[in-house]
Amino acid sequence: MLAGFAGCGDEVATPPGADPKPKDPNALDALNDYREMMGLSVVVENAKLVQASQNHVDYFLTNVGVNETCAGEGISPHDEVSGCPGFTGEGPGERTGYAGYSGAGVAECMSFVNDGPQAIYGWLATVYHRLCIASPEIFEMGFAKGERSEGNVKVDVIEVGLASSADPSHIARWPVPDAMDVPKSWDGLENPLPPTPPDGYPSGPIVSVIYPPADDANISDATISDHTGDVASYFLSPEIDPNLAYTNAYFVYSHKPLTERRTYTVEFTGTRGGSAWNDSWSFYVPCERSMPKDGKACNGNTLLSCDMSEPFDTDCAEQFCIDYPGGARCVDEVVTCNQADGEFIGCIDNGLVYCLGGYQLVERDCGIDTCIPDGPHGPTCASVPITTCASVEQDKLRCEGDLLVYCELGYLQHRDCTDESLFCQVNSTGDNGFCAASQAPCSAGRCAGDVPIDCRYGWQVAEPICPTGTCAVLGNNASCRLPPCEDGDDNDNDGWTDDADPDCAGGDDEVGFGVTECNDDVNNDTDEEKDSADPECSDASDNDESA
């Protein structure tokens, strides 16, 4: 086993959005959290392995980027050179022996993040480094980390002690059966590098089953499938991959990232105990990131919605799925640009085009207007016939039916109020137009459900729906209001506000409590306490301050 993965690789990067997170920011706890998920035995810390790890961290930070002879090109990060500062042994076996460790076998993994839990998950996400975390025979470990500000050098080292045997019931499956938080991809940042997919990395997540050393399981094939059938994938075993020699570990990963919001089933087949053997389980790939703005993202050329209330997948087909910062979408043509995000850069057909995330995007069709690519203030829409005007900022002028005519960026333009189920109206002096919620004149605001209908210029104007709280009318104006027990106001004029008001403490609205012995600023029962300080006033149903 030592020959199989002692010094098992040089570089691992932790994938973004890696889940699940260990509960304690400590390498040992993180390792045991993941092993517990897999049903494996607890690993304990060994002070001699900790010392060996710390020795190698010190050697690395002392020499890398400073001394080419000791830690230069062609020298593995796992190796030390005799005679160099901090030398304690050429390989992991010698270094752990130098620290006084005499176990049956050791394995070493390294990362470059200076963070215990992050390094642990980074190793777990890979192929070969996973053996430092998920091998059933691991029973003790030592971890150390460090950094050097000069050159921004960071390093993490784990030395794991290997028992000569392990509980035969301890079979490590990762992702664990029925996992609900499996990342859709793996970036391939590992050395040695596992077989590269036909289109390169990222691949799908790494799926594995690892048996105890004495187990006679012999897995000959593995598949990953969803409801549409098998997914093209690579299968790795000790017989196929020399980097897995002397292990009892088997891996499978898809050529391409998996599709989010989908259940996958993995199946390892072969023999065990002299009979045919099938080891199969399922896991779920969720939306692994917080979707920008409109809740959409691209998976290959498929447009995904991660809005669980109304999820959908759309094949962009002959179009192209592009992940813009403002949300993903299918576009007819992929055209790059280098202008600042949001900067209008021209016209396509009759649409106003701007640059976003390095790609051209049509913001809107100019409709009855025409797109002008070279206006005095940049590309814009303009009325037909083209009519210039003075305003750069939007200056609303008048109504033509339900078309609002306004001046912006030097040209007259139109907004169709009916597109928003509104009506074009002008104020009483006739010098400002706007899209109103009603053609009926008004003198005070009102609420239409959670939509405030304000009274502006003598007409009803719809404001945006209240995102929190409720619509309320105060005086002549309608606006969004928080509930009475959360708005910071003394709504019933009783001297108490929000949670301090007994009505709110009793679960009721802050209305109608009025002035009583419990808020009249009088010590009514002469017991040295008055109002809310008097214990008798603690019950909202008892407004009598008498003992």
Long-range contacts from 339-346, C-beta under 8 angstroms, 24+ separation: 343/378, 344/378, 344/379, 344/380, 345/379, 346/373, 346/379
The number of residues making up the chain comes to: 547
pLDDT at 459: 60
Strands (E), 124-198: 138-148, 153-162, 172-174
Q: Are 303 and 313 in contact (CB under 8 A)?
A: yes
The mean per-residue pLDDT over the stretch 220-238 comes to: 95
Q: pLDDT category, 23, cuts 50, 70, 90?
A: very low
pLDDT at 437: 65
Q: Is the pLDDT of residue 147 over 50?
A: yes
Q: Name, of 179-183, 310-314, 396-400, 460-464, the range with top average pLDDT.
A: 179-183
pLDDT at 517: 66
pLDDT at 467: 57
pLDDT at 257: 92
pLDDT at 426: 76
Q: pLDDT category, 1, cuts 50, 70, 90?
A: very low
Of 82 and 301, more confident: 82
Angle between helices 116-124 and 27-37 (to 10 degrees): 30
pLDDT at 292: 39
The mean per-residue pLDDT over the stretch 492-507 comes to: 68
Mean pLDDT over the full length of the chain:
80
Q: Is the pLDDT of residue 544 over 70?
A: no
Nearest to 478 by CA among 456, 510, 457, 458: 456
**Cα(237)–Cα(195) distance, integer angstroms:** 12
The pLDDT tens digits of the residues spanning 409-450 come to 888 888 888 776 677 877 666 667 777 766 666 667 777 666
Quote the percentage of the chain above a pLDDT of 90: 42
The pLDDT tens digits of the residues spanning 343-391 come to 777 887 777 887 776 777 766 678 888 888 888 888 888 888 888 888 8
**Cα(467)–Cα(356) distance, integer angstroms:** 27
Domain regions of the chain by residue span = 2-166, 296-372, 499-547
DSSP letters of 269-307?
A: EEEETTEEEEEEEEEEE---SPPPTTTEEEETTEEEE--
The pLDDT tens digits of the residues spanning 152-199 come to 899 999 999 999 888 888 999 999 999 988 999 999 999 999 999 999
- Residue owning tokens 């192209």: 320
pTM over 0.85: no
What is the CATH topology of the domain spanning 2-166? Answer: Pathogenesis-related Protein p14a (3.40.33)
Q: How many CB atoms lie within 10 A of CB 185?
A: 21
Nearest to 45 by CA among 60, 59, 35, 32: 32
Q: Is 547 exposed, middle or buried (0-12, 13-18, 19+ CB in 10 A)?
A: exposed
- Residue owning tokens 């002959």: 318
